[in-house]
Amino acid sequence: MLNPGTKLGPYEIVAPLGAGGMGEVYRARDTRLDRNVAIKVLPAQVTYDAERRERFEREAKAISALNHPHICTLHDIGREGDTDFLVMELVEGQTLAARLEKGPLPSDQVLRLGLEISDALDKAHRLGIIHRDLKPGNIMLTPRNGAKLLDFGLAKPVVTPNSAATAMLTASKPLTKEGTIVGTFQYMAPEQLEGTEADARSDFFAFGAVLYEAATGKKAFEGKTTASVIAAVLASEPAPMSSLQPLTPPAFERVVNTCLAKDPDERFQSAHDLNLQLRWIADAGTQAGVPAPVASHRKNRERTAWVIAAVLGLTTITAIIVAMVRAPKPVQPAASVRLNAELGTDATLSDTTYGASAILSLDGTRLAFVAVGADKTRRLYVRSLDQMQATVLPGTEGARDPFFSPDSQWIAFFAQSKLKKISVQGGPVVTLCDALDDRGGSWGDDGSIVFAAGGLEGLSKVSSAGGKPEPLTSLNQQTGELTHRWPQVLPGSKDVIFTASTSIVQFDDADIAVYSTFSGKPKTVLHGGSYARYLPSGHLVYLRDGTLFAVPFDIKRLDVTGQPAPVVEGVASNPDNGGAQFSFSDSGTLLYVAGSAINADVSTYWMDAAGKFTPLRETPGNYNNLAISPDGKRLAMDITNGNRIDIWVYEWERDTLTRLTFAGDSNIRPIWTPDGQRIVYGSAEKGAMANLWWIRADGGGDAQRLTEGKERQVPGSWSPDGKVFALFQNNPGTSWDIMTMPVEGSEKTGWKPGQPKPFVNTSATEVYPAFSPDGRWIAYYSNESGPGEIYVRPFPGPGGKWQVSTGGGVMPEWSRNGKELFYRTNDSKIMVVSYTSSGDSFHADKPRLWSPSQFTDRSVMKNFSLHPDGKRFAVLKAGKGDTTPPPINKASFIFNFFDELRRKVPAGK
């Protein structure tokens, strides 16, 4: 026990508030900020167990980010001598446990409690944080601010069951591992008692037990001994709430019973859905006290669906469900039915960072998905929903972003920088055309395919029989558009919905646009999302921040007719490229991969020719466009933080990271001057077109503008003498071209950049210029021959042209030794080419793999940089501290989804 006046760092103990098995709590005073706080002194097993302290500190960092009116805020953690402590918001009031000693809460207070705590859980679960010990003693009732959830995920008792799993549980463990139990018995989910890992659904079980107790005054699971309590949770059902409180609304009892389901898959799958159900009950008022007209039908339908799932063991969707999918719609809208199902193969879903990896055929009879098997190779699988197993389609190695033909008999996909197709029955793979770095496609009912061949261009169109693609849309240079992607051809094949963006790293703020062949021009119909799809229900659905939104859409007027509303939480998506994991059938079924917006964080590593990775900066971040300084001691990069992208410099010997840019919101691709004094970067400061700027590398002085024009420009490379700068520019009529710009002056006399002039400007895309060490050559990327390759031309020219790479390549980098040229493959491996030159002649040997290792793909961003010693690269790679999603072998189905949309988002006028 600490005495009043005791100091723990800057905090002075005032008085004790309580004590228990998990520590002592005190009222304290923060002497720095002059505010009252609560101090929780942690028990000895945390203080003296290094492994547990590591977990505690890791979780504390995550939980400190929680900012919600119904979650007690964690302000600080500290250590004074041998005492570890938490500093929390001081919450005045009484615990729910203390209040329930007087009896159950009134029904309106129970609903309010449910809404507030479920909203708090939703906030935490979105951040990947679960409570693990939700109980009345961890809920504080305050006079003014409603309920507050305490002790979120920290310092929980961990106990291990004995072989009988029914003896007294007293052994402590430092981490939550398989085979250990965390929590309080009456509120612990069955899976926790059985020793498996808790997830968000375990919180819902505990929450159901809390609501049951708050409404009835009785615990849902009781017993005279620990063993009998555990047995009750595992095998017994609580007494019906209506038998204890006759006025309990049936709808509310159904919510609680769903929370208390023994099988986690039968509970609510997201706190948001749980909150919506409670909100509906609250809004319905007394009407929630009687069964709705379709309650019996809905109850039977839900029971049928879950019986089916139980019979299948969540491993297959049989002909029974297919019959449900194909069944004609009743006159009265049917209730939606949700279930999770395994894919029907030992492979796991792959490449969920782009377009949908699992898709439904439009007729609702087949599932196609891209997965990785035991040989680590990505292939296309197809499965009829009336069969138990999926079938691999040979010849589809490397597949991604599949989509069905309108008759559901073919599947188009992208692989090896090509657009291809294959019959759903298997057979030969047909190559249709080149597609360097796709961003999705769609098959129209007129036999044409609209697709995005790359990440920095408009949409193209090609016959489904194959041929030469034709441009369909052009980027709007006046608005600074950088990309059109993720198209969907609308019925009739006259119009196309797609995602347009002025950023290539943040698509939550992208535009949803529609291209009409009648007008020949795109128009924006919605702002703030990506991956839009038109549904036969008369809605557009799209993703933003891991949530599927819907808005009424008039397909004749090609315009929205109402306000967007969220309809499905927890859909896997990638805000960095706009991709999303959902699909639908015309029969009204939605298929999606559960998850969240993908964490784009990576770490920086050294990679050598042997394939060994050595940490450079393991702290995860959304890093891109690496550039090592000429002296080999600093690493420049752009870092995305929220909606901002800024240039930073990392000095690894001092482990310091310095931010250089503060103006504008999109500062990208740093390039060092040859003397290492300055960094050139691209920026759209002050609302202007993205041109070139530079700034001192030590952060001194203000940024200065190097170019000013109407065309978008991206930095490329300096000549060794620092007198010429190469860039690539998006020119009208010729797309991206290589330009060179003279730069005269000095630090003393000032600098005078000249006018950029074309170096390579054909109808093809030419980007990523790189000067050779002697300044005589420029290597660059071009797709003039179809697949993008690396070429070399003499500078300043004229002269010949030599293709260096074979099989595709991007982003060339020269070694200082004057003998080697490196480049990156499309799957993020490093190739090297030995070369010789004489006069105006250049000779390149056959490319060879420099290192067997692969690093993290960052699309069109530069994810590697060669050190001046020529023996190692700085690369971006998911590290041990990064959030790596677990293998995915399940998909989620919502049947009768269109009827649900019509109820939730009625069509506008």
Q: What is the largest CA-CA distance in the chain?
A: 96
Q: Where are the alpha helices (DSSP H) in 71-199?
A: 96-100, 107-126, 190-193
Sign of the CA dihedral running 110, 114, 116, 120: positive
Strand-pairing partners, residue 727, are 715, 739
Catalytic residue ranges: 133
Residue 343: Cβ within 10 Å count: 22
Q: Are 769 and 716 in contact (CB under 8 A)?
A: yes
User: How is 222-244 classified by DSSP, letter by letter?
Assistant: --SSHHHHHHHHHH--PPPHHHH
740, 724 Cβ separation under 8 angstroms: yes
Structure-block tokens of residue 409: 């008999």
Helix (H/G/I), strand (E/B), else coil: 799: coil
- Evaluate the CA torsion angle 620, 622, 626, 631 in order and state its sign: negative
Cα–Cα distance between 14 and 97 in angstroms, integer? 25
Query: Of the candidates 550, 442, 647, 443, which has an alpha carbon nearest to the alpha carbon of residue 907?
Result: 550
Tokens representing 138 are: 């961890």
**Nearest-10 crossing angle of helices 271-284, 107-126:** 160
Residue 819 burial (CB < 10 Å; 0-12/13-18/19+)?
A: middle
CB 186 within 8 A of CB 233: yes
- CA 244 – CA 291 distance, rounded (Å): 19
- Give the DSSP H/E element, type plus range, for residue 354: none
Q: Give me the DSSP letters along 508-564.
A: TT-EEEEEETTTTEEEEEEES-EEEEEETTTEEEEEETTEEEEEEEETTTTEE-S--
Tokens of residue 266, six digits: 């039968």
Q: CB neighbours of 657 closer than 8 A, spacing ≥ 6?
A: 617, 648, 649, 650
Long-range CB contacts (< 8 A, 24+ apart) of 226-231?
226/166, 226/167, 226/168, 226/169, 226/185, 227/166, 227/167, 229/185, 229/186, 230/165, 230/166, 230/185, 230/193, 231/166
155: left (phi over 0), alpha (psi -120 to 50) or beta: left
CB 696 within 8 A of CB 704: no
CB atoms within 10 A of CB 502: 19
Instruction: Tell me the C-alpha distance between 703 and 660, whole Å.
Output: 9
Distances (CA, A) of 828 to 416, 854, 863: 13, 6, 8
Phi, psi (deg, nearest 5) at residue 80: -125, 110
- Tally the C-alpha atoms within 13 A of residue 149's C-alpha that lie toward its C-beta: 32
Measured CA to CA, the distance from residue 84 to residue 82 in angstroms comes to 7
Quote the tokens at residue 484.
């059109």
DSSP label of 138:
G
Choose among 488, 485, 408: nearest CA to 442.
488
